[in-house]
Structures are given as structure tokens and as C-alpha cells.
Structure 1
Amino acid sequence: MSILFESEYRGERHVGFGKPAAGDSVTLYKVAEDRLRTEFAAGGDPEQIVATVVAGAESVTVAADDPELRLLPPLLPTATGDSLVSGFMRTHRSKFETEPQEGEEFVPPNWFFKGLGNWLRLPGETLVVPSKPVALIEEPEVALVYVNDEEGAPHYAGYTFGNDLCDIGLHLENPGWNPYCKLCDTALTPWLFLGEPPTTVTGRVTVERDGATAWEGGFDCGEDSLYFKVRDMADHLFSFPAVRRPGLVNYVLLGADRASFHDGFRIADGDRVTIDVKSHDVVFSNDIRFGGSVTS
């Protein structure tokens, strides 16, 4: 399965492949800012789309840790308002007393709006939350990426991983406050996996405080761990015209299993959350800041 990423290098948009680590060299292919999104919006095989985009493109090889190389969330548009981050709640089987039955009528899970795509944070960046959260929870999740065509029809591009940090304590005090609960930064990895939504995703979360491990635990967020089928959830979401605006990029979070909060742990200001998606060899960390300043 191919993995691609987009980046800015010396002020211009590029596409690269794989998951280069610090010290590695990486070949970047220069592309127009909207080229990949336009191709994905037209539909077709993702692998062929990428091959078409980079064919004959000007390339340059740089170090993965070159200070002039800035990675981007997958397919992120430059224009504010051209991408949305949202997700589903209470999607995992572990949160239900019964198992789903074949032929059972689909009752959609709750959905939330997280923010605009340019609100997303990348690995290594600080996640800012309100100054006095009730009880934060890290949420390792699969994020699906869709691009709408000129008629508003969504086309699936691939998936990546994220941390949907939120104030679960506020939600538990009053479920009607859930929109406030979600007003915490979300981290997304830049790697776009060009494949169907994954059935198995396993890994481990570590929370560090003052340089030492304060909590750690495992997670499972693949489709096999969900109570709902991914296609059913996606079809229901895209039945609403508001998310089918032509050219819109949708980042759709599929929900998280139990996490540090359920273990009695409470994330504090300055903690570092590391999510190790062992099944996909993806590791990313973010520091948590209470009431910090907001940057674009």
C-alpha cells in the first residue's frame, strides 16, 4: 500500500512518498496547490491518480529534517473554509452491551463538528485547550479523508491517524455541552494511506509528565472494533448537503475506544501525549497546553 504526504518546501507545494524519518533523504515532486485534490475529486484508482500527478513533475531530494520542509495535513486546502474536521461518537463495540446483529436497522451514532481543516495540528505541535478543562481525554482515531467533486459528490482518498483531544469531563457534566467539549486542538498525521479504511488498528498511548511516564495503555480503533460499519456511517453523513459543498475536503474521525480518563488518570497542563499506532508503524507526540495562545 502506498503512503503519500504533501509538504511545502521553499514556499512551493510538493508530494512525497513513504514515512521518512529524521536523517533520511526524501524525494519531493513539485505540484500545483490544488492538483492532488482535483484529481482525487474526479474519482478513480488512488494509486493511478498519484502516478499521473507526479509523472514528469520537477523533483528535488532533501533531508527529511530540512528546516525548509514543512509537512501538511493530507490534501489540506490553502483557503480557509474549504475543509472540515468532524467525527462520530460512541462508535466502539466496547461501549455497547450487545453485539451488532446482521440485518439490524442502522441507527447512526452521534456526530460532532470539530472545526476547519486549517485548525489541525501536526505531530510535534502543541495542542491548545481551554484554560480550565474539567477532564481531558486523548482519543487515538482513524481519520478518513474525502474530497467532493464539482457536483458535491464525496470521493474517498485514503486514511490517516489523529488525536481528537477533548474535554470529556465537560461532556459528562452536561451532554448538551459536547460542542464546547470538542473545542480542543486535534492532531493529524501527514501520512495519507492509499487504501480502504483499515479493519485492524492497534497501538499504545503514553502520557509523559516532567519527562517520566505517568500513564500508558493500549487501544484498538480499526473497523473490526466498531459497532457500526464505516460505509453506513459515511453514507449517512454525506446524505447532508452541508458537507457536500463542491470542492470541500472532509476529515472524518471514526471514534476512539477507552483511554486514560477511563483508567482514572487526568491529563495535566504540560503533559506530552504519544500515540504509537503499532499496526501501521506510525508514532506521533504532542504537548498539551492549557489556555495557550492560538496560532494559525
Structure 2
Amino acid sequence: MLLSQYRRQDGRIQVVARDGTEAYEVRTDLALYDLAMGCAETGTGLQERVMDLGLNGAVDLARLYEDGRLLPPLTHPDPAHLHLTGTGLTHLGSASTRAAMHAKAAQTTAEDETDSMRMFRMGVEGGKPADDGAGVQPEWFYKGTGAALAAPGAPLASPGFAEDGGEEPELAGLYVIGPDGTPFRLGFALANEFSDHVMERRNYLYLAHSKLRPAAVGPELRVGELPASVTGTSRIRRGDQVIFEAPFLSGEANMSHSIANLEHHHFKYDLFRQPGDVHVHMFGTATLSFAQGIRAEAGDVFEIEAPEFGLPLRNPLAHDPAPATAPRVAVQSL
């Protein structure tokens, strides 16, 4: 089952479900967040809850997309309680992509290898523990709150002081935290973990800065477990031309970490198990147009698709009109 949300004419959120080609409104005035929290409280499965509610008339998701009315599949009434986070160097091939981006050759000896290669090797060796124990920690980063979450079709805005704005085609897990602090995963969705790769390349210690950019998720949420292997396509459209197109692979068959291990190392922190919060956690990629010499421009459209996840995720690149050098932020004393 695929779930999505759109903004109704009266301003309320409408949940949509489809299992095949046709999409139908779910017979409820609740947003997906409220449905999920209710399931967390009662122990009801999300798909079961949707089917119990029943479906109304068919909706044209493509038209809603075109009209700019689709929302991320999961939001929070208070954006400050939605966390955007992710992990890197988790996919087979991601280390070579990172090395190419940094224009460094991978070394063969443990003494000489880069931190990126070392982190990747640690994941290959210990990212999929055979039992229920915890494996090695992945690279982890923070992107922001729900204020940085862009809807499908909405611009991904690069600030005026940014050095680059490039796509990262990924899959994301979408979660709510239950009343007792238990994380509940609703399912998975396409994500564009938009980043500043020029800044990151300048110095790897700028990685944290480079990730403080918007991200887009959706348009549809796949309920349930992640397929073992996912093959998608990442594109950049410039006007009528496709200037970049490459496959991206995900799913545990193409990863150096298990999903359970990545989830453990995120939710092991009490900070991320606060009742009522929403988490959008991105699992990494091995495909970057930047690593192949592409420099996205304002107006370019990033397009990420995989058949198992419904409609493709499309977002144009926009440049914030702020000056290239950020004006100094003056902090007032109380």
C-alpha cells in the first residue's frame, strides 16, 4: 500500500491510499500523523487501520502534483517536532563516490586510507550483525527540523552563501514516537537529501555545515518493509534536456549496513525517542551527479524515481536571493 497527503481546498490535510494504479481518499479528516499516533497507542497496524476506515472517491494524484497541492507523506503539526537526519557511507559503492567527490584515490593500507574509506570498511565488516546485537556505528548527520522539509514539487532553496546545491537520491524511513518512547516505522519513501558538495569537498569537517539544507520526501509512502533490493533512477532536467541520468541502488542487498542497525544507532539516543515526535531518517546513497562533474543551476529539476515507491519525487533548484556573503547575524543581549 502507498499513502500520500494533499492539502484540501479548505486547508485541511487529506490522506490518500492506493494499492495499484488507482488512488482513493481515505475516509477520515485526520492527517497521517494522527492516524499513526493512534496506531502506536492501540497497537493497530497502519494498513489495517486505513482499510478499517475505508476509502472514498478516486483522486488524480498527478493533477494534484501539478497543482502543487501534494504534501510530504508525513508531517507534524509543529514542525519543530519533526527531525530530518541521515547516514552516509552505508551503500556499496558509496566510498568510491565519496572518494571521487573529494578527488582522492582510495588507499589500500589501513594506515593510509582516508577516514571515509575507513568508515566504509568498518560498515562492510560490522554493519550487518548476525544476531540482535548492535553493529558498528555509521556516519550520521543532522539536517534540521520540519522547517527544512520541502513538499514534492516545491523548490529546494540553496542559500545565497552556499557554494553548491546538489541532489542525493535516497530512501528514507518515516517514524513516529509512541507515548512510551517506542519508535514506530510507518514505512519508506523516496528522498532527496539535498547538500552543498563544494563546501564538503573543501574540508571534510565542513560536512555538518553542508548538510544544513532543505530535503524533500515523497510523494508516496510505501507501508511495510523495505524490499531487499531497490533500483531507481536519478535525473536532472534542464529545460527540455536531461543533463544527468544514472541508476541508484538501495535496499539491504546493496548496503553495507542493515536497516535495523542504522535505526538502532539513531534511536539509541533518548533525545530521539521523545513521545509524539516525527523522524525522517535518510539511509544514504552511492549516486551523486556532482561526483560526475555536474553543476546544477537554478531552475534545474531533480527527479528521483523507483517503481516500488509510486510517483517520482521532483523538485526544482532555487537560489535564495540573499547576498553571496551572509550578512553578519547580530545577537541581542537580554
Q: Normalising by the residue count of structure 1, what TM-score does the alignment of the two structures yield?
A: 0.86
CA distance in structure 2 between the aligned counterparts of 1:212 and 1:62, rounded to whole angstroms: 30
Equivalent in 209, 213, 216 of residue 184 of structure 1:
213
Q: 1:262 Cα deviation (Å)? A: 1.5
Partner of 2:40: 41
Q: For residues 246 and 216 of structure 1, do their structure 2 counterparts lie closer, same or farther at Cα, with a shift above 3 Å needed?
A: same
2:90 aligned partner:
91
Q: Is the 8 A contact 2:183 2:267 kept in 1?
A: yes
1:27 to 22, 25, 29: 25
- Residues 2-40 of structure 1 deviation map (CA, whole Å, 9 limit, x = unaligned): 11122331222322112899xx77434232345313223
**Which segments of structure 1 move beyond 6 Å, counting only runs of 4 or more?**
none
Residues 114-158 of structure 1: per-residue CA shift (max 9 Å, x gap): 111242112211110122533433111111011111121111111
Q: Aligned to 1:93, what secondary structure does the other structure show?
A: coil
- Maintained 8 Å contact 2:68/2:154: no
Write the letter of the residue equivalent to 1:248.
Answer: D
Preserved CA contact (<8 Å) 1:82 1:248: yes
CA distance in 2, matches of 1:273, 1:190: 14
Match of 1:168 in 2: 197
Q: Which has the larger radius of gyration?
A: 2
**Residue pairs, 1:221-240, within 5 angstroms:** 221-240=250-269
> In the alignment, what sits opposite 2:18?
18
Q: Decide whether the 8 Å contact of 2:168 with 2:192 is kept in 1.
A: yes
Alignment of 1:238-277 (within 5 A): 238-277=267-306
The percent identity for this pair of structures is 26
Select the structure that is richer in helix: 2
Higher strand share: 1
1:1-296 pair list within 5 angstroms = 2-9=1-8, 10-18=10-18, 26-33=24-31, 34-42=33-41, 43-52=43-52, 54-55=53-54, 59=56, 62-64=59-61, 65=63, 70-94=69-93, 95=95, 96=120, 99-100=124-125, 106-292=135-321
**Root-mean-square deviation (Å):** 2.7
TM-score when scaled to structure 2? 0.77
Extract unaligned runs of 5+ from structure 2.
96-119, 323-334
* CA distance in 1 between partners of 2:156 and 2:163 (Å): 16
- Contact 2:71/2:152 (<8 A) preserved: no
Moved more, 98-107 or 7-16: 98-107
Q: What code does the residue aligned with 2:154 have?
A: E
**Unmatched segments (≥5 aa) in structure 1:** none
